[in-house]
Structure 1
Amino acid sequence: MQNDPIPLIRARALWMRRTAFTMVHRAQLGHPGGDFSATDILATLYFGVMRHDPARPAWEDRDRFIMSKGHATGAIYTALCAAGYFPEDWLPSYMQNGSPLNGHPNRNYVPGVETNTGPLGHGFPVALGIAIAGQITGRDYRTYVLTGDGEQQEGSNWEAAMVAGHRRLANLTLIIDRNRLQQGAGTEETSGLDPLDKKYEAFGFEVQMVDGHDVSALLGALTAKGDRPRCIIANTVKGKGVSFMENVAKWHHGVPNDAEFAQAMAELV
């Protein structure tokens, strides 16, 4: 890895946003708001934090990443493509019949996808199991899982948190994309989550709150280690980078018309 990964991470994040929005515009399907809130997190993980090898997706000592908010496929597919897991010429097939790049990531079709996700609340329990396996076998890989904040309303997350804290899984990092919007409304209006940090602390996690678009802050938080599981609450902006999308709930699954696409691409520079 180069001495200063920040310029590369920022460049990859910009490419990911532009490419994901192009995919959504072409398909007229997708979840661009959540893609854009998660992009900087994924770029930081794949290009500054995780130990992984796209030539060996099943390498036993790789770090594992679980995209629990599986609907944000524009973000995860562009991250995997930029990292070299599959060729760029797959991207125009996004959401088309027969494409490996369907509406939720499928490990049977897409190299680098650790587990199928989509039903919210499932990714964190899977990551828990992977981390427990590493603890039992003594392997030094780390497991990272990204959830949405609305997804925290699923009870399976809290069952996983209880076990992770009990087992002191220092090899597990939970990242929460805290953009405060879910489908149709704000998280606090729908089913309040705050104080989210205190809740995870009560389960035995080391908790850190960061700006989810500050690459330097993300690097520091995601590379820190301790003797307990970590929870990174990444404060983000839904639709980050495009003025008419930022903090607007409809862009959870909105798709752009031609004029909106042109404006967004002009802003994403």
Structure 2
Amino acid sequence: MAYAGNAVHLGCAFSIIELLSCLYGRHMRYDKANAADPARDHLVLSKGHGVMAQYACLYELGWLDRTDIDRYFHDGSRLKGLSDAHVPGCEVTSGTLGHGLSVGVGLALAASRRNSGQKCYALVGDGEINEGPIWEAMLFAAHAKLDNLMVIVDANGFQAMGTTDEVMQLGDLGAKFAAFDFDVLTVDGHDREAISAAITDLEGRHNGRPKALVAKTVKGKGVSYMENVNAWHYSRLNPELYAQALRELEGASA
């Protein structure tokens, strides 16, 4: 997609792909034949600029087709560079960072009041946690005892213009979530077995406390020249770099 659309935001998509594939493959409840099933669990991609990772999952589910993928970011394509609620499987239009969690809290609250058993997963970037609405949403989630809400933090240590430590130090995220009365676990965000076990553990705690999973990730994971290189927040692939990335990714999956 990034190569076909001459698009950016590739590094931040690589940091969340295992998290998303684990959610779709093992934990979320949805009707594969109907992306708009009203009984579905919700996935709010608050860090909407990482949407290529979600599009890849939606393609695997059959909710997007090959034409969608090949025409990513082209004129007339329905796949834009940020999450868009008009795309089947995308719950929110996001990319204005810091607001997706509030939407997720609303979805979790509605499900709780209906006693529907639906869960809401809100995936946020560590950089957007320095936005005030995140903390307001956390306060309300604890107040409303939304134990059907799970906040998943893509803690890759970077945001658009530098490291999170340079822009706004976050300190111990696990301790901060715990202080807001969340159940919290920290996990390797690229270890699918560890991710799945942590999600199962948190979801088994029916105690009226919202959940948080702090996933330690690597921006650009899987491609040597992208890993922890923040220039790949806005860099584009040329033919040579694209070919090298494919060789490395295909070698890792062999």
Q: TM-score range by the shorter chain?
A: over 0.9
Do 1:30 and 1:73's aligned partners in 2 also have CA atoms closer than 8 Å?
A: no
Q: Which runs of 4+ in 1 moved over 3 A?
A: none
Specify the SS of the correspondent of 1:174. Answer: strand
1:240 aligns with 2:229: no
TM-score (norm 2): 0.94
Q: Which secondary structure does the structure 1 equivalent of 2:44 belong to?
A: strand
Partner SS, residue 16 of structure 2: helix
2:22 equivalent to 1:54: no
> Which stretches in structure 2 are left out of the alignment for 5+ residues?
none
The answer to whether the 8 A contact 1:64-1:142 is kept is yes
Two-structure CA RMSD over aligned residues (Å): 1.0
Q: 2:125 maps to which residue? A: 148
8 Å CA contact retained: 1:30, 1:74: no
What's 1:208 paired with? Answer: 185
Superposed counterparts of 1:185-204, under 5 Å: 185-204=162-181
Any idea what the Cα deviations from partners look like across 1:48-70, whole Å, max 9, x if unmatched?
Answer: 11111231122122111001110
**How big is the shift at 1:147?**
0.6
Q: What are the Cα deviations for residues 92-132 of structure 1, in whole angstroms up to 9, with x where unaligned?
A: 11001111001112222x11111111100111000000000
| Count of residue pairs the alignment pairs up | 246
- Structure 2 CA distance for aligned equivalents of residues 223 and 142 of structure 1: 13
Match of 2:82 in 1: 104
Is 1:265 matched up with 2:249?
no
- Tell me, what secondary structure is at the counterpart of 2:55? helix
- Aligned to 2:122, the other structure's residue is in SS state strand
- Partner of residue 251 from structure 1, selected from 217, 221, 232: 232
Asked if structure 2 preserves the Cα contact closer than 8 Å seen for 1:30 and 1:72, the reply is: no
**Shift in Å, 1:197:** 0.9
Distance 2:16 2:107 in 1: 22
Question: Aligned ranges for residues 113-128 of structure 1 at < 5 Å?
Answer: 113-128=90-105
Query: Which residue in 2 is equivalent to 1:63?
Result: 41
What residue identity is the alignment partner of 1:251?
Answer: W
Q: Which 10-residue stretch deviates more, 45-54 or 167-176?
A: 45-54
For residue 66 of structure 1, give the secondary structure of its aligned residue in structure 2: strand
Give, in angstroms, the shift of residue 236 of structure 1: 0.2
Report the residue type matching 1:64 in the other structure. H
Per-residue deviation at 1:184? 2.5
Structure 2 partner of 1:129:
106
Is the CA contact 1:65–1:145 (under 8 Å) kept in the aligned structure 2? yes
| Cα drift, residue 253 of structure 1 | 2.1
Contact 2:55–2:64, Cα closer than 8 Å, also in 1: no
CA positional deviation for 1:223: 2.2
Q: Matched residues, percent identical?
A: 41
CA distances 1:1-27 after superposition (whole Å, capped 9, x unpaired) = xxxxxxxxxxxxxxxxxxxxxx11121
Report the 3-state secondary structure (helix = DSSP H, G, I; strand = E; otherwise coil) of the residue aligned with 2:151: strand
1:163 is aligned to 140
Contact 2:8–2:232 under 8 Å retained in 1: no
Deviates more, 1:124-133 or 1:78-87: 78-87
- 88-97 or 228-237, larger mean C-alpha shift: 88-97
Distance apart, 1:262 and its partner CA: 1.1
Residues 183-238 of structure 1: CA distance to partner in whole angstroms, max 9, x if unpaired?
13110111000111111101110010000000001001122321211100000000
2:194 is matched with which residue: 217, 227, 240? Answer: 217
* Alignment gaps of 5+ in structure 1: 1-22
